[in-house]
Amino acid sequence: MLRVAESPQEALACDQALSLSQFQRRWPGLDPTALPGAVLLEREVAEITKARPRTVAFVALEALQEAEGFALRHLAGVAEMRYALGARPQDWQTDAAAVHLDATPDALWWSPEGVAAIEYDIRYNRDLVLRKAQDYRRIYVRQYWGATRLSRVQYLQRLLGPDPHTRVLLAPWLGG
């Protein structure tokens, strides 16, 4: 696990929503409802697309109080990728509350090498993954894909091939 180098307020301002389990892993013993501007929400969500839904608690910005579980799940997945990469909040911009079927990534990371595309995979079909990857290759210095299950990570690695500018991460936003 990454050492926490940011406050929960900084993380939430950047990531917008985390699963309660993510929050508790990073700031054990801290009550998320004590954070100004944060709310605790429960939503019926599936860990991955087409899985059985269950009730999941999220810590989110007040502005997301009415957000669908799908959007919160997506934000939490992108946040898990940020933690895995060790990216600082000030170097990260997320737009993961919406699903993008074009060349718009879920987040951008101003990494030491330049701007990188961040894509949290929600089990996109093969053609969409390949189209997004091709678009990202033209626009960004690197691309990072994330998935919550190891089997999906391995599938994406095979599909995207041995590109030195592409990396696939395990991003278990719910557990791990």
14 and 7 in contact (C-beta within 8 Å)? no
Confidence of residue 52 (pLDDT cuts 50, 70, 90): confident
| Mean pLDDT score across all residues of the chain | 91
Convert the pLDDT of each residue in 96-140 to its tens digit: 666 666 778 999 999 999 999 999 998 889 999 999 999 999 999
Give the mean pLDDT of 61-77. Answer: 94
Within the chain, residue ranges assigned H as helices are 8-15, 20-26, 69-85, 126-139, 150-160
The 3-state DSSP class for residue 9 equals helix
Q: What is the pTM of this model?
A: 0.91
- How are beta strands 92-94 and 107-111 bridged, if at all? antiparallel
